[in-house]
Structure 1
Amino acid sequence: MEWRVKGIRGATTVSENSVQAIREAVTELMDELESRNQLDPDEIISVVFSVTRDLDAIFPAAIARQRPFWDNVPLLDVQQMHVEGGLERCIRFLIHVNMPAAHKKIHHPYLRGAKNLRPDWQLAPATL
């Protein structure tokens, strides 16, 4: 089987700059990512999280690292470039993952207030 490195994007927003609000949003985002894409953490090459400058209560990577089997995934947090009028309290990610070359369907989860960032990638919510 032939494999390729593919990128998965996603984003969400939080109601406030608190550990609880960020943990809830990142967990929801990661649950959506995993359920829609059937990811095996062993096949993830790396994950970069970015947050807007108004979020500093906790690192999103620290939350992701607590997920089952994510303790060996290389994770990085960075601050998103500030653009006047940009979406506030936003957490984004870019994941590089090894996938079978034939795997064509990738779901890029954009949740909450981030849904409008990429309306072309929107799907109906997953049924869990």
Structure 2
Amino acid sequence: MIRGIRGATTVEKNDAGLIHRATEELMKQIEEQNNLKPQDISHVIITVTEELTATFPARALRDLPGYQFVPVMCAQEIPVPGSMKSCIRLMVTAATEKNQEEINHIYLNKAEKLRPDLSLTKER
């Protein structure tokens, strides 16, 4: 079955190294918590809030072993007034045997506030 897996994280400032490390950490958590390998992943869409311009976060994934053939694309998040700043979001589309309710969506740092209903600590 093909499933969408969501994730988000934040960085403290617009810095290429911070953006790369945060994106890599988020992707690794999504892999680990959902028992995925790069070959299971169809594609990844990454969005960033408008102030994150230091680098393309997709670069962080392209540098991970096994990701050279995974299509990755970046886009800018819609700048809704009052929305979370310095946020990186991932939508990972992957083949898995998990049911939708078994998917572990990952929210790190300040982004944990975005979807507390999908938190790993929430009882299912």
TM-score for the superposition, normalised by structure 2: 0.92
The corresponding residue for 2:12 is 15
In structure 1, the residue corresponding to 2:29 is in which secondary structure? helix
Question: Which stretches in structure 1 are left out of the alignment for 5+ residues?
Answer: none
The letter of the residue matching 1:28 is E
The corresponding residue for 2:49 is 52
CA distance in 2, matches of 1:33, 1:11: 10
Q: Is the counterpart of residue 68 in structure 1 residue 92 in structure 2?
A: no
Question: Which stretches in structure 2 are left out of the alignment for 5+ residues?
Answer: none
- Quote how far apart the aligned CAs of 1:109 are: 0.5
CA distance in 2, matches of 1:71, 1:18: 24
**Mapping for residues 16-55 of structure 1, pairs under 5 Å:** 16-55=13-52
In structure 2, the residue corresponding to 1:22 is in which secondary structure? helix
In structure 2, the residue corresponding to 1:69 is in which secondary structure? coil
- Quote how far apart the aligned CAs of 1:49 are: 0.0
The corresponding residue for 1:121 is 118
Deviations 1:23-51 (A, max 9, x none): 22112111211111111211211110000
Poorly superposed stretches of 4+, deviation over 6 Å: none
Aligned partner (choices 68, 83, 87) of residue 84 of structure 2: 87
- Worse-superposed segment, 45-54 or 24-33: 24-33
CA RMSD in angstroms, aligned pairs only: 1.0
TM-score for the superposition, normalised by structure 1: 0.89
Q: Tell me the matched-pair count.
A: 119
Q: Tell me, yes or no, if the aligned pair for 2:21 and 2:60 is still in contact at 8 Å.
A: no
Share of identical aligned residues, percent?
Answer: 39
CA distance in 2, matches of 1:26, 1:91: 7
Q: Tell me, yes or no, if the aligned pair for 2:20 and 2:59 is still in contact at 8 Å.
A: no
